[in-house]
Structure formats: structure tokens, C-alpha cells
Amino acid sequence: MKPKYLTPGIYTADPSAHVFNGKLYIYPSHDIESGIPENDNGDHFDMRDYHVFSMDDIEGECTDHGVVLDVKDIPWSGRQLWAPDAAHKDGKYYLYFPLKDQNDIFRIGVAVSDKPEGPFIPESDPIKGSHSIDPAVLEDSDGKYYMYWGGIWGGQLQRYRNNKAIECGQEPADNEPALCAKVALLSDNMLEFAEEPKNAVILDENGEALKAGDHDRRYFEGPWMHKYNGKYYLSYSTGNTHNLCYAIGDNPYGPFTYKGVILTPVVGWTTHHSICEFKGKWYLFYHDSVPSGGKTWLRSIKVRELKYNDDGTIISMDGMD
């Protein structure tokens, strides 16, 4: 299939796709024209609510279920509802979202619904011990749920070491190990971490941790985890080099060995995605800024088929297609 835009008439980005009850649901962020000048901290991404979209068929209509959560409804809110994700357990649906608190510090919150399309009711406080952005949740085959998250620069991950805030947050030196996505098992109630978060380490072909100066391969933001043929695929954005890359591991914690580029740069600064199997085929959901004329803060989500080689590696795709 050719790449297909999914939400004409509304700017959306960072699509997290899941199949619930045999139907495809997409949980993106909602871009607006905020009037805030563009900068490296992402202040121009001043998103204020979430919509949920659903599809019965990948070639069919994409239904907008409207606003399912608004920043005004979140008790601890400051600003900037960035890229969310969702999960389902025991008849409840959980929307995980990054949001700056009233001290302008990113935390990760949870909102709950009885339906995959919402609306979602937020918990009164963020997840204890959470920080940074871009939550993504894997439901593993044994019934456990793991959250992956983290983003540097505006996502504030560089402000932390060993899950503690540091005095002068900055990236490691180029010759030091790169910052990693974080991973933690979720509690049975899906509202808390069941353990201290760990680093999802990405290794090079020699078994060494990727270095901070390896901008073409190192982790920046937007983690996603999916399983294929029993292996764990950690995919992510390299940020300032604009690739979607992936690494493969044998368990949800890693380490993960770097394997290559899924998608080369798109039009627009950011690149953020999800990967989902639907009706026997695999799909890549992502965004670009073509419909807005290249405005990096007004993005549009799209989908294309994703294919694997016989050895389990992913066939790389051109983001400009």
C-alpha cells in the first residue's frame, strides 16, 4: 500500500496504534497553532487535548471520536500534553500521557475509561517516580505490562541519572554511553511502577553500548516496543538526525542490539511512530509535516505497510515516499 494520511482536517502526530476488540485504535497527540516561537525545547508544541481515532479496515474510514481528555481536566496539569499511549486490561482502558506539572517538569499521568475510544478520567496525581516523555506500553505474552519512555532535549531525560534529578542536566560526552529509554514493569492496577525503572541499553555490533556522539544511531525519544517471532523490537527516533531506528533483544529489558533504520527522515523536524499488526499484516504509523506546508509543529499522521526480511530484520523505508 502507498502511505496514507489518516486525519485530514485536524493536525495529529505521534500515533500509538493498538488493536482492541478486533478494531484498530490510534492515540495521537493533537497539534495546534499556538503562536509560540519554535525552539529546541519544543515550547511550540503546546498541545492541549487528545482525540482518539478508530478504523475497521486499514483502507477504510478513520473515525474521530472527539476530545477524550483535556489538559483542563487533569488536577496536576501545567502545560503540554505530548505523545500518549494506551493499554487494555480486564475491561479497562488506560491512557498514558506526558504532561508538564505546575513546576514545568514532565511527569507521566494515567487516565482510565471503560471504552477504548474514551472519554478518559485522569488520576489525581502522576505516576510516582515518573519523569520525561513518550510513554509506550507493551502487553507481553505472559500477561505482564511494561512501560518504555524518555526523550532528551525538551523531553528532559538529560536532567536525570539513575532516576534522580541532577543539578546541571546535560547529555553525556560524545565518548560516553548514550542516554537510554527507560523501562519498568507496571503494577497489577496499571497505575504505578512495580519496580525501579531500568535502562533499555542499545548495543552496537561489537556488544558495546552506543555512544552519545553516535547521533545516527543513539536513542533520542519516541520508544516503541513490539514482538515478532518471539523477539523484542525496540524502535525509536534519533531526534536531531531524524531517523526511525530499531534494535532487537531477547527479553523486555534488553539489552537490545542495533539493527538498522526503519524509516529515513520525513518532512518536519520530529519523527515519532508505532508498529502494529492488524488483520495479518504489519503497519508503521508515523507523521510528517507535508499537509501543513512543512510547519514542524503542525503534523499529520499516516500509515504504511511494514515488512520483514526472512531473518527478522525490518525492510527499511524512505520517509519522503
Among 14, 46, 117, 288, the one annotated catalytic: 14
Residues 236 and 75: their CA atoms lie apart, in Å, by 30
- Is 14 one of the catalytic residues? yes
Report which of 227, 217, 207 is spatially closest to residue 275, judged by C-alpha positions: 227
How far the first Cα of the chain sits from its last, in Å, is: 11
Among 85, 117, 221, 288, the one annotated catalytic: 221
- Is 310 one of the catalytic residues? no
Output the CA torsion sign for 307, 310, 311, 315.
negative
Alpha carbons within 13 A on the beta-carbon side of 2: 3
**Pairing mode, strands 256-263 and 202-203:** parallel
Q: Which residues contact 202 (CB under 8 A, 6 or more apart)?
A: 178, 180, 209, 210, 217, 218, 219, 234, 247, 254, 255, 256, 257, 258
Residues 73 and 209: their CA atoms lie apart, in Å, by 41
DSSP state, 10?
Answer: S
Catalytic residues: 14, 221
